[in-house]
Amino acid sequence: MLIVKFGLGFGLGFGLIFCISGCSEKLVFAKPETTPPPVGTPEKTKKTTAIYHDFEDVLIPKELKIIKERTVVLSSPGFRSGLLALKGMVDSTSLFDFFSNNMQKDNWNVVSKIKSPNTTIMVFQKSTRSAVITIKDSQIYTYVEIGVAPRISERINDGGSGMELSE
């Protein structure tokens, strides 16, 4: 059955090419009229390469897909926290560069970055939240986990200095 389908498809394709090439001298294609775009509009629309998922200030490359069974995001009025699990066929170095640049653009401060051959951990913070991004290489996919949580502040009574610790 496969041979018949292949033969039929091959025959039709070859016949079409033969007809087009034989009539190519007679075919005249009219060029479509193009009008210039209105002043002030970009000529090409930019393709969206990244989007915001559950966290409004953590940009995610579109090549990464959510792993629903490993994702937990909790919402309360005005705040979301949790763990967003993603995977994609993306180079881990390009992901490291992407998150390094875009987290800072979204006003996250870099706390630390740790790179090993197969795992990268990036820690960021804002005044009320912390974010940890883990990038792990595997044979086929690169896995990314993004954890966002509130920062915990405690007052320590050390004889009146009122020292504040943030975890």
How many CB atoms lie under 10 A from the CB of residue 87?
19
pLDDT recorded at residue 54? 82
> Per-residue pLDDT averaged across 107-125, rounded?
96
High-pLDDT (> 90) share of the chain, %: 52
> Ramachandran region of residue 107, left (φ > 0), alpha (ψ -120 to 50) or beta?
left
Do residues 119 and 82 lie in contact, with contact meaning Cβ atoms separated by under 8 Å?
no
Q: Which domains does the chain have, with CATH numbers?
A: 50-154 (3.30.310)
The total of other beta-carbon atoms located within 10 Å of residue 149's CB is 13
User: pTM of this prediction?
Assistant: 0.64
* pLDDT score at 52: 84
